[in-house]
């Protein structure tokens, strides 16, 4: 991975923010930055279109959030 690609994943990319909205999970910037680069790339690249993909994405994200924060993933109100 190039330095530019690494720097582009310092902040939560628009594609990931859209996926977070779809699955109804809030991810704080400090938690995103606590993820390993490979985990950020995976969250960016995982599909999240179908209901099944969204369920898988949410489960994977929730597991990462729990590992990093020690707390369950925060749901977005109304989601």
* pTM for the predicted model, two decimal places: 0.88
The two structure tokens encoding residue 46 = 């995982």
What domain count does the chain have?
1
Q: What is the phi-psi region of residue 21: left when phi exceeds 0, alpha when psi lies from -120 to 50, beta otherwise?
A: alpha
pLDDT value for 26: 96
Rounded Cα distance, 8 and 10, in Å: 6
- Judged on CB neighbours under 10 Å (0-12, 13-18, 19+), 74 is middle
State the Cα–Cα distance between residues 38 and 78, nearest whole angstrom: 30
Question: What pLDDT does 8 receive?
Answer: 84
State which residues form the domain around 35.
3-75
Q: What is the pLDDT of residue 1?
A: 60
Q: What is the pLDDT of residues 8-59, one digit of tens each?
A: 899 999 999 999 999 999 999 999 999 999 999 999 999 999 999 999 999 9
pLDDT at 58: 97
């Amino acid at each position: 991975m190039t330095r530019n690609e690494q720097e582009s994943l310092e902040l939560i990319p628009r594609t990931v923010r859209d996926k977070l909205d779809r699955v109804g999970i809030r991810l704080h910037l400090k938690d995103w930055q606590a993820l390993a680069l490979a985990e950020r790339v995976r969250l960016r690249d995982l599909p999240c279109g179908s209901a099944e993909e969204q369920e898988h994405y949410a489960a994977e994200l929730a597991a990462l959030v729990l590992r990093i924060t020690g707390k369950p993933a925060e749901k977005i109100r109304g989601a």
